[in-house]
Structure 1
Amino acid sequence: MPVPLVPPSSQARRPVQTFLAARFSPEGAFGLQLTLGVALIVLAALAFGVVADDVVRGAAITRLDVQLAAWFHARATPGFTRAMLLVTHWNGLAGSSAMALLLAFWFARRRLHAWLLLTVLAVPGGMLLNAALKHVFRRARPSLDHPLLTLETYSFPSGHTAAATVFYGLLACWLFKRVHGAPARALVLLAAAFMIGLVALSRMYLGVHYLSDVIAATLESLAWLTLCVTAVSAYERRRALAHRAGEAP
């Protein structure tokens, strides 16, 4: 009896279908979680590239940058300035480092080794990445009469906003895993977004960063944090699967 032949096109599709099925499967170390992480990394990186290109070309956003900087400066008040200085100093290099060390100590005491590794990778790595990008673009800070705060370093992207995005984003990831229910998880995400936005506002209000600086910093750090979370998560899932396979009879 003749054996029915499988069309070559069907044979070619099978490896592709198998690969796609594995990438969108909730099981395994390199399944849906990794796919979503990679997609978010790519989207954030592309968005950062668009903002950076607009800044380099002097596109419309740079004119909005100057207008918004002047608008904030013209409406500064002593009380709000003190509040913004408190926010910006608390979330500076020293403040962000201290908060990250406390969080790392908490994870170490709780033996949450994956979260400890994530903190060690994400926070210092994010700061180094931001410093490197500043020296790539070398954008001057806003120039204002009688500035509220004066800095000599580069402006693009905002280091304070980048550090806040990594730290509060990491904290939100951990709390998101701990709490249950949509309202509680939404509150965690909103709180993290509020803190990041508050830090970004302080930098614009004080006249040391433009709007595009803080937008780019948020996108840059979102891509970096997602990369770290995705890598550590895939590593931990792979270890867990290997451990289970080793215990199987």
Structure 2
Amino acid sequence: MAGVRHRRDLGRRALLFILSLLLVLAIALAQRWGWLRPFNHGLMGGAGAWRDTAIGPPVTLTMVGLSEIGDTAARIGMSLVACAMLFWRGRGRQTVWLVLVVVGGTLLNAGLKQVFAAPRPDLLPHLDIVKSYSFPSGHASGNMIFFGALAMLIGRGWAWIAASAMILPIGFSRVWLGVHWPTDVLAGWILGIGWLFLCGGWLRR
């Protein structure tokens, strides 16, 4: 019976992951066809207006810091520290799980970026140097996956609150810096949630 329940659980998780991919595809198409232009331009234009006010410089400095914390290089460093701590505590299987989740999610996002090949926004001057495609946001999906995976390993409510306190501001920082449309970030979060939910089945096993 346990094996049957586990297979059903994995089936449900796989279905939700596929639905998340379809939703990401729907956002990509809607964005390409211009249906989301008012939403994207409204939010990013609002961020640009705030950038030009008195509070703009200190907020921008904070957003740059958050963006750097959520960058791939920093995320790799934090992942290595987390894996070392897990391994030191004798949690070898969870160490392997975390590595596979983070690496797999990173490759998934990179692959989708190549598939959609969406250019970066040109509404605001970029406050970060970027050369890759825009959709879906790697900062959004990568940090959703990393901090979400840590919260799943800890298994406490406060861990999810702490993860959200990192995921949401990092995602917003990319819009403030002018390098991602809001829907790029939203799609990245959806992708990260779908991937986390799929991988959570093997963690429970």
Shift of 1:173: 0.3
Structure 2 match to 1:103: 82
Q: Does 1:57 align with 2:3?
A: no
Shift of 1:56: 2.8
Shift of 1:78: 0.7
Structure 1 match to 2:21: 45
Out of 46, 53, 66, the residue aligned to residue 87 of structure 1 is 66
Number of aligned residues: 200
Alpha carbons of structure 1 residues 32 and 190: separation in structure 2 relative to 1, 3 Å: farther
Instruction: Give the match's secondary structure for 1:120.
Output: helix
Structure 2 match to 1:131: 110
* Conservation of the 8 A alpha-carbon contact between 1:118 and 1:229: no
Alpha carbons of structure 1 residues 146 and 227: separation in structure 2 relative to 1, 3 Å: closer
State the alpha-carbon separation in 2 of the partners of residues 52 and 73 from structure 1.
23
The one-letter amino acid of 1:47's match is L
Structure 1 match to 2:169: 198
Structure 1 match to 2:160: 189
Taking only aligned residues, the RMSD between alpha carbons, in angstroms, comes to 2.0
Alpha carbons of structure 1 residues 145 and 227: separation in structure 2 relative to 1, 3 Å: closer
* Mapping for residues 1-249 of structure 1, pairs under 5 Å: 27-28=2-3, 30=6, 33-59=9-35, 61-76=36-51, 77-176=56-155, 179=156, 185=157, 187-233=158-204, 237=205
Identity %: 31
State the alpha-carbon separation in 2 of the partners of residues 209 and 68 from structure 1.
11
TM-score, scaled relative to structure 1: 0.73
Shift of 1:148: 2.4
Alpha carbons of structure 1 residues 132 and 70: separation in structure 2 relative to 1, 3 Å: same
State the alpha-carbon separation in 2 of the partners of residues 175 and 39 from structure 1.
25
Moved over 4 A (4+): none
* Conservation of the 8 A alpha-carbon contact between 1:157 and 1:216: yes
Could you report, residue by residue, the CA deviation over 1:151-199 in whole angstroms, capped at 9, with x for unpaired residues? 23211011111110110100110111xx4xxxxx2x3323222311111
Shift of 1:31: 5.2
The one-letter amino acid of 2:198's match is L
Alpha carbons of structure 1 residues 56 and 145: separation in structure 2 relative to 1, 3 Å: closer
**Alignment gaps of 5+ in structure 2:** none
Instruction: Give the match's secondary structure for 2:78.
Output: helix
Shift of 1:110: 1.3
Alpha carbons of structure 1 residues 49 and 145: separation in structure 2 relative to 1, 3 Å: closer
**Alignment gaps of 5+ in structure 1:** 1-21, 180-184, 238-249
Q: Which has the larger radius of gyration?
A: 1
State the alpha-carbon separation in 2 of the partners of residues 157 and 39 from structure 1.
20
State the alpha-carbon separation in 2 of the partners of residues 40 and 145 from structure 1.
35
